[in-house]
Amino acid sequence: MTIRALARGSILITLANLIPRAGTFLLLPLYTRFLTTADFGLVSIASSGALLLALVYRLGVDAAALRMHHELAPSDRRDLYTTVIVMSAGSALAVTGVAILVGLTIIDAATRAAFGAAALLALGIAAFNAFQFVPSTWLRATDQTGRYLGLALLAFLAVASVSVLLVVIVPLGAIGSLAGQLSGALVVAGAAVIIAWRQRPWRFRLDLARQALRFGLPLLPHSLAGWLLNVSDRWLLGLLLGVAAGELLGAIGIYSLGYQLGYAVGLAAISFNAAWLPFLYRIGTRPGSAPVLRESTTLVVIGFTGIAALLAIFAADLVGWLAPPAWSAAADVTVVVAFASAANAAGLMYASGMYLDRRTGVMPMLTAAAALTNLAVNVVLIPRIGIMGAAWATLIAYAVLAASLAVAARRRDASSVDVLPSLLVVGFAAAITIVSRGVPWLPVGVLEWHLVLAVVLVSGIGWLALRTVSRLEIALRTASGAGESLR
Quick one: pLDDT at residue 285? 61
The distance of Cα 401 from the centroid of its chain, to the nearest Å, equals 15
Per the CB < 8 A criterion, the answer to whether 340 and 398 are in contact is: yes
Quick one: pLDDT at residue 487? 35
Write out the chain's pLDDT in tens, 487 residues.
Answer: 445 555 555 566 666 666 666 666 778 888 888 888 888 888 888 888 888 888 888 888 877 887 788 778 777 888 888 888 888 888 888 888 888 888 778 777 766 776 788 888 999 999 888 888 888 788 777 767 778 778 888 888 898 899 999 999 998 988 999 999 999 899 988 988 888 888 778 888 888 888 888 888 877 877 787 787 777 888 888 888 877 666 888 888 899 899 989 988 988 887 788 777 777 777 666 666 677 777 888 888 999 999 999 999 999 888 988 888 888 899 999 999 999 999 999 988 888 777 766 666 677 788 888 889 999 999 999 999 999 999 999 999 999 999 988 888 777 665 566 777 888 888 999 999 888 877 655 555 577 788 888 999 999 888 888 888 888 777 777 766 533 433 3
What count of other Cβ atoms lies within 10 Å of the Cβ of residue 116? 14
Quick one: pLDDT at residue 415? 57
Cα dihedral 26→12→228→64 (10° resolution) = 150
> How far apart are the C-alpha atoms of 147 and 153, rounded to whole Å?
10
Nearest Cα residue to 178 out of 273, 268, 51: 51
Quick one: pLDDT at residue 142? 74
Three-state SS at 441 = coil
Quick one: pLDDT at residue 117? 87
Start-to-end C-alpha separation, the chain: 10
Quick one: pLDDT at residue 482? 37
Q: Is the peptide bond before 171 cis (omega within 30 degrees of 0)?
A: no
The pTM score is 0.75
Query: Residues 6 or more apart from 459 whose CB is under 8 A from it?
Result: none
Per the CB < 8 A criterion, the answer to whether 83 and 208 are in contact is: yes
